[in-house]
Amino acid sequence: MTTATLAVQWNPIDWPLTHGPIPLAVLVAGWGSLLLLALARGRSWWNRRLPAALFSAAALSLVLDVVVDDWWHPFPEGLPRYVTWWIAVALLGLCLAGFRMPRLGRRGKLLAVAAGALVLLMASSQVNRGFGQYPSGRVMLAPWLSKTQGLTTGFDARTVSPPPGKVLADVWQAPPGLPAKGTVSIEPIPGGKSGFKARDAYIYLPPAYQASPRPLLPVVVLVTGQPGNPGDWVLGGQVNEALDAFAAEHDGLAPIVVMPDQLGSIWNNTLCMDSKLGNVQTYLAEDVPNWVHQHLQAAKGRGSWSIGGASMGGTCALQMAVNAPDVYGSFLDMSGQEEPTLGTREQTVAAAFGGDHAKFDAIDPLQVMRRKRFPDTAAAIVVGRTDGEFRPQQEKVYQAALDAGMKARFDLMPGGHGWVVFRPGIVDQLPWLAQQTGLIR
């Protein structure tokens, strides 16, 4: 092993943040700081200030829960219980530090602030362990460290495509000098027909796209959850690394992956449909494919196109597969819901269609699957084994897919709801996506 390899391996920003000694040390330091903040001498502390700190933390936790889940309501399913718990712990640490500071000297105040910060760090670390957004410091710093390239433009006069009965890998030979890795670009995809104002999309082009003759690669559209950004699949999901690894095993071949915006902003929930909230179905079914064919040399036809997503993005993938089956021949639904929702059915229908339930029923995926059959659609349903909120819904979606005649598979992943499932999930499903879109056997 070279010195350079060792240096990379032992780079502190690559140390794991969701398992191992770092989160354990933070957990021990956090609980120790909380205990030290709670223990103090003096009758006034035990009779007045400690009860006041406990009451303040409980009151703030309750207010925050009401504001987030009942008033703001950014998450249809509400905050996970473990997130609520660790927010309460963080608030307790900050309140204890605040009530101790008036009677402390300068040094004591600095120590109280440091202890409160450690409790806050502990709570943040535990939430990250549950959701898995940042498995390492490198991923956490990805928005500043990751570099994107300009999109490869221009069409090659020579192309490679498989004849009937073959897949692309059967007829592809990698030329010498093929890049080892693909490229990631950021490009606007306008909502020309839909009018939807989307944020810039991320586009992954595999190494084989740089070849001449150029293989006509399949396209996978990946959408993020809500709240979210189009780049989450790259910055948090590291999908480009998974695709590079796949390409390395298949002579540079991998799908073109387009990661468009279906939200409009990080906290917005468009429900991924054409409604008062935005014409997102038209955007994903028409504007995005049209843009791809205008700017990229890719395979055409529903058999070469797949859509996938996680959480709300998984629900979106399901919706597109049944409401735009002429565009997407397969879909990957990871930890999605059984129907698009803003909380309750009444809230959803009121916001999207002004209370018109018939319009909602017309596009609600499970209801569509009760009315129609989809024998030419392939479905992969993935969910965390311990995801109590979404696993029952995914089981219902899987059964509905089978009943509608789809070629469906159901996979359980270790973990609950978050990137702890989505990140390894996309790695596991890449071969399946490649098979469904005619890339490999």
Model confidence over 326-347: pLDDT tens digits? Answer: 999 999 999 999 999 998 999 9
Type of residue numbered 179: P
Close Cβ partners of 212 (under 8 Å, ≥ 6 residues apart): 156, 158, 175
From 103, 131, 159, the end of a domain falls on 131
pLDDT, tens digit, for every residue of 86-101?
999 999 999 999 999 9
pLDDT digits (tens, 9 = 90+) for 260-307: 999 999 999 999 999 999 999 999 999 999 999 999 999 999 999 999
The residue-averaged pLDDT of 46-50 equals: 93
- Looking at the fold, whether 239 and 281 belong to one and the same domain comes out as yes
One domain for residues 116 and 187: no
The answer to whether 201 and 260 have CB atoms below 8 angstroms apart is yes
> How confident is the model at residue 23, as a pLDDT?
94
90-126 burial: b if 16+ Cβ within 10 Å, else e? bbbbbbbbbbbeeeeeeeeeebbeebbebbbbbbbbb
137 within some domain: no
Q: First CA to last CA across the chain, in angstroms?
A: 35
Q: Is residue 2 part of a domain?
A: no
Q: Identify whether residues 150 and 47 lie together within a single domain.
A: no
Pairing between strand 183-187 and 378-384?
unpaired
CATH code, 205? 3.40.50.1820
Mean per-residue pLDDT for 106-115? Answer: 94
Higher pLDDT, 137 or 322: 322
Assigned domain for 185 exists: yes
What's residue 9's pLDDT?
58
212, burial (CB in 10 Å: exposed 0-12, middle 13-18, buried 19+)? exposed
Q: Are residues 346 and 285 part of one domain? A: yes
Q: Is the pLDDT of residue 178 over 70?
A: yes
Q: Is the pLDDT of residue 3 over 50?
A: no
Residues 178 and 293 in one domain: yes
Same domain for 113 and 170, yes or no, is no
Using the 3D structure, point to which of 75, 98, 131 is the last residue of a domain: 131
Query: Which is nearest to 201 in space by CA: 275, 140, 151?
Result: 151
pLDDT of the residue at 6:
42
Q: Token pair of 2, please?
A: 């070279």
Per-residue model confidence (pLDDT) at position 260: 98
- Say which residues have a Cβ less than 8 Å from residue 109's Cβ, sequence separation at least 6: 101
Average pLDDT, the chain: 93
Question: Are 23 and 163 within one domain?
Answer: no
Question: Residue 152 has what DSSP assignment?
Answer: P
17: β partners: none
Domain assignment present for residue 241? The answer is yes
Question: In total, how many domains does the chain have?
Answer: 2
pLDDT for 144 equals 81
Whether residue 279 sits in one domain with residue 381: yes
Asked whether residue 101 falls in the same domain as residue 186, the answer is: no
**What are φ and ψ of residue 341, in 5° steps?**
-150, 150
Strands 183-187, 201-205: parallel, antiparallel or unpaired by DSSP? Answer: antiparallel
Q: Is 37 exposed, middle or buried (0-12, 13-18, 19+ CB in 10 A)?
A: buried
pLDDT tens sequence across 158-168: 999 999 999 99
The predicted structure's pLDDT at residue 142: 82
Those residues whose C-beta lies under 8 Å from the C-beta of residue 17, and which sit 6 or more positions away, are 23, 125, 128, 129, 134, 135, 136, 137, 140
One domain, residues 64 and 158: no
Per-residue model confidence as pLDDT tens digits over 404-415: 999 999 999 999
The answer to whether residues 240 and 273 belong to one domain is yes
* DSSP code for 271: T
The pLDDT value recorded for residue 8 is 54
Q: Examine the domain organization and report whether 109 and 181 are in the same domain.
A: no
Nearest one of 252, 154, 262 to 202, comparing CA atoms:
262
**5-14, 230-239, 264-273, 429-438: range with lowest mean pLDDT:** 5-14
Look at residue 145 in the predicted model and tell me its pLDDT.
78
Domain end residue (candidates: 97, 131, 165): 131
Tell me if residue 276 falls in helix, strand or coil.
Answer: coil
- The token duo for 98 is 């605040």
Chain centroid to CA 229: how far?
A: 8
CB of 185 closer than 8 Å to CB of 202: yes
69 pLDDT above the threshold of 90: no
User: Cα separation of 314 and 196, whole Å?
Assistant: 20
Q: Is residue 138 part of a domain?
A: no
CB 93 within 8 Å of CB 119: yes
Residue 229 counted as domain residue: yes
Q: Which domain holds residue 412?
A: 146-436
In a domain, 1, yes or no: no
In a domain, 404, yes or no: yes
Residue 97 in tokens: 């530090």
Cβ count near 326 (within 10 Å): 9
